[in-house]
Amino acid sequence: MNDVILSRIAEALTWTGRYVERADATGRILDAYLHRLLEDPWRDEDAACRSLYAILGVDAPDRHCDMQQVLDRLAFDARSTGSIEGALGAARLNARSAREAVSSEMWECLNSTWHALADQRTAARRTGGPYAYLELVRRRAALFFGLADSTMSRDDSWRFVVLGRSLERVDMTVRLLSVRVLDAAHAPDWPTLLSASGADEAYARVYGGFGDSPRVAEFLLLDRDFPRSALHALTTAEECLSALGRPRQDPARRPIGALRTHLEYLDSEALEAGLPALLRDLQQACMASAEAVAEKFFPYQGPVEWAQEGA
Amino acid sequence: MADIFDAYALADAWDEMFERPGEVRAAYEPVLAALQPIEPAELRFRADQMARAFTDRGVTYAFAGEERPWPLDLVPRILDALEWDLIQRGVAQRVRALEAYLADAYGPCRAFEDGVVPWRLLLNSPHFHRAAHGVEPPGGVRIHVAGIDLVRDEAGDFRVLEDNVRVPSGVSYVIENRRAMTRVFPSLFAEQHVVPVDGYAQRLLAALRAAAPGGIGDPRVVVLTPGPNNAAYFEHALLARLMGVQLVEGHDLVCRSNRVWMRTTRGEMPVHVVYRRLDDDFLDPLHFRPDSVIGCPGVMSAAMAGNVTLANAVGNGIADDKLLYTYVPDLIRYYLSEEPILPNVESFRPDEPGQLEAVLDQIDRLVIKPVDGAGGQGIVIGPKADRETLERTREAVAADPRGWIAQRPVALSTSPTLAGERMAPRHIDLRPFAVNDGSDVWVLPGGLTRVALQEGNLIVNSSQGGGSKDTWVLAEGPAEQRPEEPGGPLPQKAPRQLGPDGTRAVVQEGAQQQ
């Protein structure tokens, strides 16, 4: 009976995966930025905050920006799915509407996280440090996906969760790099980029040192083994779509498959030269794929047929 | 040492735990022995932990628009094997009689012809659906799931308070209560023989599959919910998950050519049995309320065509009408040729010649209930109502005698319940759940015990701020298996003095086994 999954549930699962990944990535980015601001004696808080807004696609306010505003907007704003709390709230609602499809443990993880956030938010405001808050988010996101891996059958339900996570992961990695590439003046330095992706240690192991060059972009985009690299996430998304079993000319799979192949054979020089265009292509491919997935798998708001059928 | 039972003053009702002050009933001895030595602060801590666990797991209910943890009291309610045997037989009997009534009312109408029940009872009922007339459900089952509300009166006898054979809810809390209690008081379960409650989902699934239209090898069952905003959504999701079936909302289903399909990522799949958890009125906008957006257009036609089974059947409301309730003992005699095992609460029908006056005369001594009320709404308790309310009720009953019944007030039995840091007697009732697979009516051992958390309150619904208790049915035999006390075994119901010595003996016995 578990071979089938309701379209509505598939959609909810995809978005659950997306939102948890978004909360996780946003938390990592905020954490890396805060850390850098504190350690940097020549910090320019306003510029750093503006670049944060730019990464996450949020319009910056006209007045002077400080870290507290950023946290209010990107961490604590429950009304916006662009903030951690909004994303986790949306993930919880999606998981709730798919409660017989996600495992109890996954649901409890999201639900208890949601309830625990309030306490940590209060603590963050009182002590002026959101580290415990951000750490909670990171740990719970890891717990959630760990539970998905260990309590869900490798069926379509699981694939939709992973698909959502992978698409969001590509998107967040690309956003992070875009700021560096497009607006270098206010952009985070390379080490910050690495730690915002949770990649500093993995990078150090591969290249033996701290990130100080465009090699970071190469790592975050092309590394085959690092799970947050664009190539790795694209490969995972493509595997999911392929297993969801669709014809060759799959409009959901085609855009990311094409880019994945492109990335596989890209050399460092070409990467550096064509970086801005590549980042744009990546973002567009993810969007096109997500739209095609929605069109194909979630067509539940079908035409109203009963009006003619009568009693 | 502080004793949480110190200030326990018995109310004017049957108390489940104490026969007389200080004299505990046999079945409760181990529980009392385990609870009594616990410090109030420790009890509070355990209660808070439980509430926290319920919140985290999403076991909540809506109260005044707020998501609150499910209120489970720490003191279980215990039924011994004999009591349970009676309840189980009585509930099953009642369900069989109501099944017979539904088959009759939507079929030959013998009971009306024979004058057992007046015709107007059927014809005036807002729940009588023409659409259900002539639909012959597979296996003849219309009540797949029933919840029969029972109370225990002053004499300790169980009486039926009302029948729920439409969309009875609450069984998920029976399952969750047990799960929580085994975690908070693991040692208690080790020494008692409490009959488990985890067989419900399998029984339900078997009954639903048995109810599928004929000729379908592997019927697909779904649970139909109004959605996450419904107060009972937690229950719908739990049942779907425990049964391993899809939890669908109205727009997940589509009807074509009198068949029901669900929209999946692999196309449309046929559905054969819908365990629906929404009321008749909202089920199908083509037949019932046209403004319902949570239903599935066409599902009723598919059921009438015999292509899908709705569980429970549409139109069951005529059988749990509170006025019909007063006829159920007669129906048991008429259809089953048996005497009712569980009596009703003494009731009056203002609708009948002569009774209206009698009811109006003593309205201040009766409980007045609208026949259609749910969740304790609209109930007027005569002895506690002020004059204005009584006057208003008197007028309402006189204007619409068919809309009301009156009952002799019953002082519901009480059970010790944690109130602040002390135990206090609170009124309780019991809703056992029955599952009918067509050949057998099975009753889940125990049921949902609801408790009125306010002192003296007689209405126990959670929508009115009530709480709940884990309900234990003791398996037969443990009494004999217990080690013999010096001086021979105690008789089953022997009163037992809880002096300092007795207390210590019991505590030691409990401590040894931890």
B window 244-273, beta carbon within 8 A of A: 244-249, 251-252, 254-256, 262-266, 269
pLDDT > 90 in chain B, percent: 51
Q: What is the 3-state secondary structure (H, E, C) of B97-115?
A: HHHHHHHHHCCCCHHHHCC
Higher pLDDT, A172 or B372: A172
Distance from CA of B53 to the nearest CA of A (A): 9
Distance, CA of B402 to CA of B405 (rounded, Å): 8
DSSP A60: P
What pLDDT, on the 0 to 100 scale, is given for residue A40? 72
CA distance B241 to chain A (A): 5
Distance (Å) of CA B87 to CA A30, A48, B90, B470: 61, 71, 5, 17
Phi, psi angles (nearest 5°) of residue A194: -65, -45
pLDDT bucket at B501, cuts 50 / 70 / 90: very low
pLDDT of residue B511: 33
Residue B45 pLDDT more than 60?
yes
Q: Per-residue pLDDT tens for A278-303?
A: 999 999 999 999 999 998 888 755 44
Nearest chain A Cα distance for residue B243, angstroms:
10
pLDDT digits (tens, 9 = 90+) for B438-449: 999 999 999 999
Contact (Cβ atoms closer than 8 angstroms) between residue A293 and residue A286: no
More confident residue, B497 or A29: A29
Partner A, chain B 270-289, Cβ-Cβ below 8 Å:
286-287
Rounded CA gap, B161 and B444, in Å?
18
Please state, rounded to an integer, the average pLDDT across all residues of chain A.
87
Question: What is the model's pLDDT at position A225?
Answer: 93
Shortest Cα distance, chain B CAs vs residue A6, angstroms: 4
How distant is the Cα of A240 from the closest Cα of chain B, in angstroms? 14
User: At a CB cut-off of 8 Å and minimum separation 6, what does B480 contact?
Assistant: B489
Give the model confidence (pLDDT) of B352-385 as tens digits: 888 888 898 899 899 998 887 665 678 888 888 8
Q: How far apart are CA B134 and CA B106, in angstroms?
A: 6
pLDDT confidence bin for A211, thresholds 50/70/90: low
| Backbone dihedral angles phi then psi of residue A63, each to the nearest 5 degrees | -75, 180
Please say whether the beta carbons of B174 and B447 come within 8 A: yes
Q: Give the model's pLDDT for residue A248.
A: 66
Q: Kindly tell me if the per-residue pLDDT of B514 is higher than 60.
A: no
Compute the average pLDDT of residues A137-143.
Answer: 96
| Contact indicator for B187, B513 with CB cutoff of 8 Å | yes
- Mean of the per-residue pLDDT values for chain B? 86
Which of B207, B272, B237, B246 minimizes the C-alpha distance to A2?
B246
pLDDT at B311 > cutoff 90: yes
Q: What is the pLDDT of residues B161-181, one digit of tens each?
A: 999 999 999 999 999 999 999
What local confidence, expressed as pLDDT, does residue B487 receive? 43
Residue B265: its chain A contacts at CB < 8 A? 4-7, 10, 156, 160, 244, 297-298
Cβ of B246 and A104 within 8 Å? no
Q: What is the pLDDT of residue B147?
A: 97
Q: pLDDT, tens digit, for every residue of B112-167? A: 999 999 998 888 888 888 878 877 898 899 999 999 999 999 999 999 999 999 99
The bridge status of strand B221-224 relative to strand B273-276 is: parallel
Interface contact A93, partner B, CB < 8 A: yes
Q: What is the ipTM of this complex?
A: 0.77
What residues of B are in contact with residue A297 (Cβ under 8 Å)? Answer: 265
In angstroms, the CA B61 to CA B63 distance is 6
pLDDT confidence of residue B506: 33
Residues B449-478 have pLDDT tens digits of: 999 877 777 666 655 567 899 999 998 754
What is the Cα Rg of chain A in Å? 20
User: Is the pLDDT at B305 greater than 60, yes or no?
Assistant: yes
Mean pLDDT in residue range B236-261: 93
In order, the DSSP letters of B469-494 are EEEEEBPSSHHHHSPPPTTSPPPTT-
Q: Which residues of B touch A107 (CB under 8 A)?
A: 57-58
Nearest to A8 among B58, B252, B286 (CB): B252
* Dist CA B252 CA B255 (whole Å): 10
CA–CA separation, B104 vs B384, rounded Å?
Answer: 40
What is the model's pLDDT at position B463? 57
pLDDT at B344 over 50: yes
The pLDDT of residue B373: 63
- H/E run at residue A88: helix A84-96
Which region holds residue A110: left if phi is over 0, alpha if psi is between -120 and 50, else beta? alpha
Mean pLDDT, rounded, for B197-218: 93
3-state secondary structure B418-448: EECCEEEEEEEEEECEEEECCCCEEECCCCE
Interface size between A and B, measured as CB pairs under 8 A: 92
Report the pLDDT value the prediction gives residue B155, as an integer from 0 to 100. Answer: 93
* CB-CB under 8 Å, B252 with A7: yes
Minimum-distance CB partner of B237 among A2, A99, A310: A99
At B192 the three-state DSSP class reads coil
For A102, name the nearest residue in chain B, comparing CA atoms only: B241
Q: Which of B64, B63, B73, B76 is nearest to B468 (CA)?
A: B73
In whole angstroms, give the CA distance from residue B366 to residue B409. 6
Q: A105: closest CA among B57, B206, B235, B178?
A: B57
What are B352's two structure tokens?
A: 């009948």
- Using the predicted structure, report yes or no on whether residue B484 has a pLDDT greater than 70: no
Indicate whether this model's pTM tops 0.90.
no
Contact (CB, 8 A) for A197 and A28: yes
Q: Which residue has the higher pLDDT, B404 or A126?
A: B404
Assess contact for B406 and B357: CB atoms under 8 A.
no
Task: Note which residues in 143-162 of chain A have CB less than 8 A from chain B.
Answer: 156, 160
CA dihedral sign of residues B103, B106, B110, B112 = positive
H or E element, residue B238: helix B233-243
Q: What's the pLDDT tens digit per position in A43-71?
A: 788 888 888 888 888 888 888 888 888 99
Burial class (CB in 10 A: 0-12, 13-18, 19+), A255: buried
What is the C-alpha to C-alpha distance for residues A215 and A208, in angstroms, rounded to an integer?
12
Cα(A178)–Cα(A226) distance, integer angstroms: 19
Name beta bridge partners: B441: B436
Between residues B61 and B278, the one the model is more confident about: B278
Cα of first residue to Cα of last residue in chain A, in angstroms, is: 31
The answer, yes or no, to whether residue B351 has pLDDT greater than 80, is yes
- C-alpha to C-alpha distance for A189 and A180, rounded to whole angstroms: 8
On the 0-12 / 13-18 / 19+ scale of CB atoms within 10 A, B129 is buried
Angle at B486 between CA B482 and CA B492, to 5 degrees: 50
Check: CB of residue B209 under 8 Å from CB of residue B218. Answer: no
B58: chain A residues, CB-CB within 8 Å: 96, 99, 107-108, 111
pLDDT in tens, A95-115: 999 988 898 899 999 999 999
Residue owning tokens 């969740």:
B375
pLDDT of B401 reads 87
The CA–CA distances, whole Å, from B306 to B137, B220, B231, B258, B299 equal 8, 15, 31, 9, 11
Which residue carries 């017989």 as its tokens?
A: A100
* Mutant choice from A2, A3, A4 vs B, greatest count of B C-beta within 10 A: A4
